[in-house]
Amino acid sequence: MRLLFLLVFLFCTAAMGVALYTEHVLGFAPCPLCIVQRVAMIATGLVALVAALHGARGVGVRLYAGIAALCAAGGAAVAGRHVWLQSLPADQVPEECGMDMGFMVEMLPWQEVASIILSGSGECANVDLQVLGLSIPQWTLIAFVALVLLMLWRVFAPIRPANSRFA
């Protein structure tokens, strides 16, 4: 199982590399929903890294996979919201600009920050970049769904004996 978790960690690392490349090289600033998706991708990757380093067996694999699935499911929910905002007609898009993320975190209670971020703003509805006809949030949603399915497969797969090569 170490290899599976290591591959998940490397996938999450690559996804973050793409996100940072689009921000710092291509010049696309992340919206608040993008930032939350990045946090979910990092959390999923960190859980996978800890699982790979720990080398748990049996129920431990299920526990790590379950936690990683929850992190990825949270990311999928936010990415789904982002895709939905991008699919809205122009006249139904929320107001153009919200408060600065740093300002919100410093000045508002976390519940209000979460509510404002998840409601999205006009900047979240912009489709600035497409790859193979899909927006970045659509690709991110696909990645999160794949991670959720992979981790759920590990949660519900039969536990192999400890002496198995593929345990």
Per-residue pLDDT of 125-167, as tens digits, reads: 566 766 688 888 888 999 999 999 999 998 888 776 655 555 4
Determine the average pLDDT of the residues in 90-108.
60
Bridge partner residues of 130 (DSSP): 135
Q: What is the pLDDT of residue 133?
A: 82
pLDDT at 4 over 70: yes
- Domain ranges for the chain, please list them: 2-156
Which pLDDT belongs to residue 124? 62
Helix (H, G, I), strand (E, B) or coil at 42: helix
Residue 84 has pLDDT above 70, yes or no: yes
**H-type alpha helices, the chain:** 2-24, 32-54, 59-87, 101-107, 110-119, 122-125, 136-156
* Per-residue CA distances from 76 to 91, 100, 151, 153, 160 (Å): 26, 24, 13, 17, 29
- Between 124 and 77, the more confident residue is 77
Q: At what angle do helices 2-24 and 32-54 cross, to 10 degrees?
A: 150
Rounded to 10 degrees, the C-alpha dihedral 140/141/144/149 comes to: -140
Give, as one character, the DSSP assignment of residue 95.
P
Instruction: Give the predicted TM-score (pTM) of the model.
Output: 0.74
**The predicted structure's pLDDT at residue 75:** 94
| Contact assessment for residue 32 and residue 121, using Cβ atoms and an 8 Å cutoff | yes
Q: Check if the beta carbon of residue 71 is closer than 8 Å to that of residue 51.
A: no
Mean pLDDT for the stretch of residues 81-105: 66
CB 105 within 8 A of CB 113: yes
Average of per-residue pLDDT across 77-102: 70
The pLDDT value recorded for residue 55 is: 81
Q: Which amino acid is at 148?
A: V
Cβ-based neighbours of 41, under 8 Å, separated by 6 or more: 12, 15, 16, 19, 75, 140, 143, 144
The mean-pLDDT minimum among 64-68, 70-74, 111-115, 145-149 falls in: 111-115
* Res. 82 pLDDT band, cuts 50 70 90: confident
With a cut of 80, say whether residue 121 has pLDDT above it: no
Q: What is the topology classification, in CATH, of domain 2-156?
A: Bromodomain-like (1.20.1550)
Q: Which residue has the tokens 């608040």?
A: 32
Relative to beta strand 134-135, strand 130-131 is: antiparallel
